[in-house]
């Protein structure tokens, strides 16, 4: 499948053809990595979705709900359409609960999935603030490992470890001259040795909470 490179200008993306390297299934890096998150679908002009680019403007992840806003299921895929995570919203929780199922082998056609994480939206005493707990369920002893903290009205938030250390941060993207792009163009920074696909899946959950997916 042909790849794409995207260069962001003032609120608009221009797509040009290019080569995209073969993706690792669940990549991490020994250094801090920056990504651009565009809360738009490149496949469907009127669809709802999300596209993630690396620092070179290459597409590495995409999400499309095929014109079904606020769908109970979100599929995180690589550029070739292989599902990495399936995110399911559970309805029987007061404040909201989302579960992430990781594909056992994204390179095959198998639909075998294993529950990987659960996000629970917490009641906050601060008006308009948003706080979520992230539990990792694939371990022998499930535990709360991360939190997401931000504001319900904005797609700007931080992901922290159980010790309070920053793991990732999402903010509105700025140009080199300091001009903010559209509110649907975000800058994602991920700290070293963190699973990029997990962080992008959590960004999708946060977008669902804010009713942007």
User: Would you list the domain boundaries of the chain?
Assistant: 3-19+30-117+170-209
For the chain, list residues with pLDDT below 50.
Answer: 1-2, 4, 7-25
pLDDT of residue 195: 93
Alpha-carbon distances of 9 from 110, 175, 194, rounded to whole Å? 39, 8, 29
Q: What is the pLDDT of residue 1?
A: 45
Token pair of 200 as six digits:
């992008």
Q: Return d(Cα 12, Cα 15) in angstroms, integer.
A: 10
Residue-wise DSSP of the chain: --EEEEEE-SS-EEEEEE--PPPPSS---SS-EEEEEESS-SS-TT--EEEEE-TTSBEEEEEE-SS-TT-SEEEEE-TT--EEEEEEEESSSSS-EEEEEEES-TTSS---EEEEEEEEEEP-SSTTEEEEEEEE-SSSS-EEEEEEEEETT-S-EEEEETTS-EEEEEEE-B-TTS-B--TTEEEEEE-TT--HHHHHHHHHHHHHHTT--
**pLDDT at residue number 71:** 67
In angstroms, the Cα distances linking 119 to 68, 144, 170 are: 22, 9, 17
Give the global pTM.
Answer: 0.81
91-141 confidence digits (pLDDT tens): 766 678 999 999 976 665 556 789 999 999 887 666 678 899 999 998 766
From the candidate CATH numbers 1.10.287, 1.20.120, 2.40.160, 2.60.40, the one assigned to the domain spanning 3-19+30-117+170-209: 2.40.160
What pLDDT, on the 0 to 100 scale, is given for residue 102?
94
- Give me the pLDDT at residue 208, please: 87
Task: Report how far residue 46's alpha carbon sits from residue 36's, in angstroms, rounded to the nearest whole number.
Answer: 20
pLDDT at 212: 73
């Amino acid at each position: 499948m042909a790849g794409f490179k995207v260069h962001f200008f003032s609120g608009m993306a221009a797509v040009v053809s290019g080569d995209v390297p073969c993706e690792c299934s669940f990549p991490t890096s020994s250094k801090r990595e920056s990504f651009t998150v565009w809360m738009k679908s490149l496949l469907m002009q009127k669809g709802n979705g999300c596209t993630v680019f690396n620092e070179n403007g290459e597409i590495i992840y995409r999400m499309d709900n095929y014109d079904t806003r606020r769908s109970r299921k979100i599929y995180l895929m690589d550029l070739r359409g292989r599902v990495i995570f399936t995110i399911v919203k559970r309805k029987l929780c007061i404040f909201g609960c989302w579960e992430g199922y990781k594909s056992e082998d994204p390179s095959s056609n198998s639909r075998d999935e294993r529950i990987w994480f659960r996000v629970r939206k917490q009641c906050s005493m601060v008006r308009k603030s948003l706080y979520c707990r992230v539990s990792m369920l694939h371990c022998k002893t499930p535990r709360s490992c991360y939190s997401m903290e931000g504001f319900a009205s904005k797609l700007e938030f931080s992901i922290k470890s159980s010790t309070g250390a920053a793991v990732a941060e999402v903010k509105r993207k700025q140009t080199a001259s300091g001009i903010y792009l559209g509110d649907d163009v975000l800058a994602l920074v991920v700290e070293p040795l963190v699973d990029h696909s997990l962080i992008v899946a959590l960004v999708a959950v946060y977008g669902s909470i804010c009713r942007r997916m």
